[in-house]
Structure 1
Amino acid sequence: MTGHLAPSPVEAQLDDIVEILAGLGARYDAAPLFPVDSLAVLSAVGLHRRFAPPAAGGENFPNEVARNDALLNALRIVGRGDLSIGRLFEGHINALCLFGWYATSAQLDWLGAMLEAGSWFGVWATEPPPGVRLEADSTTLTGSKMFASGAGGLDYALATVAWSDGPRRLAIVPAKAPERTNLSAWRVRGMRASASGRYDLTGCSVAPAMWLGQPGDYDRDPRFTAGAWRFCAAQLGGVEALLAETVRALGENARHDPVQRARLADAYVAARTAGFWVREAARRAAADEDDAVSLARLARGVVERAGLDVMEASARLLGTRSAFDGERVDKISRDLALYLRQAGPDHARDCAAQALLARDVWRSDDRLW
């Protein structure tokens, strides 16, 4: 006889953190600061370390599908509570994945010690020209990162560095130096607590043990592109939260109006459809297969469309109430509107369409044409 596995102690606590993160998120939205208390909530329920490589103290899942299923649930729950925290958590998870794929045994020991001490990590790749690079004949970096989520608040970041004339390489760098942090331009309507500012790495020295993997490892597919399912999962949590808050806030007139009910049904279908695509993308990524890249690219577009549809439905269903300061639907909508602006959505969709012209990447045994 088979059945569902009992939830782990971590999973049993996840639903409880949504309201806590939402309350803290409203505070950080009003006065943007690095969200120390919110990250402490994640640490308290075991999310800070659960998805680390087992050699660094993470949970030893039975297989990659089980790991991604659990991670998908965690990202959705955190995203439901606060999308800024979802962004920081997803960046931390991205770093842990990169350690799992490319770290030496000594680096895994170091990672375990840092996680034991409560350290949080991020991944910084976006940069203004000419980018971060090594100074000639030295171990010292020059250049800065932009849109560096968690700048000045995280403990460490994996930063991409130009490597000679070849592919870029990852360096483990300190991320908490106030003198290197510039958040003055991060003046945005949403995702305020993600602290996605600039961070100057000029003069930062990288010891040999602080280089992670080899040149080109960071950009290696299918892992690089297929990993988009993770930020889609956090965004999905925001879509689900907005839908739930909209239903909660509906007045009696809307509840008894068939036109409004139809609008709500369409929003529900959009959110659930996005969930199906993200779950499939996560499971394809677990298999490390080439089709995972196209599934992730398509999932990005589906989640974006769902987010836009649910935001419009919420505004129409709730009217001006949806835009009032202090209303949770307003904060979720502002956060989601910004988070969905992930780079290159049209290019990602076009690349996926080219793959679809060759064959149906959803299921090779059930073609549409």
Structure 2
Amino acid sequence: MTGGSGFVGSHLVRLLLERGYRVHATLRPTAGALKARPLEAMRERFPDKLRLFEADLLTEGSFDRAMDGCRVVFHVASPFFMPETIKKGAKDVVTPALSGTRNVLASIERTPTVERLVFTSTVGAIFGDYADVLGMDGHVLSERYVNTTSTPENNPYHYAKTVAEQAAWDAARAQDRWSMVSVNPGLILGPSLTPGSESGSLFLLDELFKGYFFYGAPDFSFTVADVRDVASVHVAAAETPDAHGRYIVAREEMYSFLQLSRILRDRFPRNLRLPAHGLPHWAVRTLGPAFGLTPDYIRKHLGIRFTVDNRRSVNELGITYRPVEETVVDHYLTWRQHRSARGAR
């Protein structure tokens, strides 16, 4: 597995170990002790079941040793940043995602034991902006669409995941030894096993929890997936012989900042940092550029909602989605725990 120390990867490692599998997991050479700590704890809990390898997405052959003897490869590693945090799209996101995927694919080609690749993609490989989904049949997000509107300059993360996934599909179709399944989750929330995670989804709610929106929540909504459900889909995709194609992993309905805030305010009514009201659209259009949101981004996302077709993950992989309340509360509790451990205010 690539990206074993990440937000999704650490949950996937734990689930595989709990199901009795031997796991080879990679982490970056620059990963600090904080990020590696959960994997080290798992290695102590499951003696002789977990081996850790250093590997770099941009180094050719870096994954060969980790893949040796493996039957399934989970390619989870890829940088995830929110659009407003990306400085150089091609360098920060596109090159690591595409070159990293190609290096993983090359290692698979050199490893004859590999029978299946489970590729971690995103719903962003299906659409570029929310406005794109309004052009889909019934305004319903479906696996059969491919993102055609993102570029390295406009929404580079979605572009990077789109070209990386397509490169993987091209490689899969060019041979008949191994099969591929793509997992396309929405915004991944839930408890983080490590306080060292750099996931953009954690950054997004970090802004909410810190009170950036205490004056009012902007009307942006998200396709939501629990990190534990995402891990379960990966395992099901590996274990189900007939699994094929792409699987959207997200709840059927979207959730807004205000809905997520209200879930937490019901549980933690004394937290005055959480917004109790929505922010008018005109205010978001006026203030958004000061927070790194372009008028084009606001126009293509603000107030837009759509339905998610998650039937393949439910009917073919047997996934039962957790209640969103459980996901959000667990996410918040571990966020608070990790901040307390770091001495944060």
* Range of TM-score over shorter length: 0.3 to 0.5
Report the structure number with the largest CA radius of gyration: 1
TM-score by length of 2: 0.37
Structure with greater helix share of residues: 1
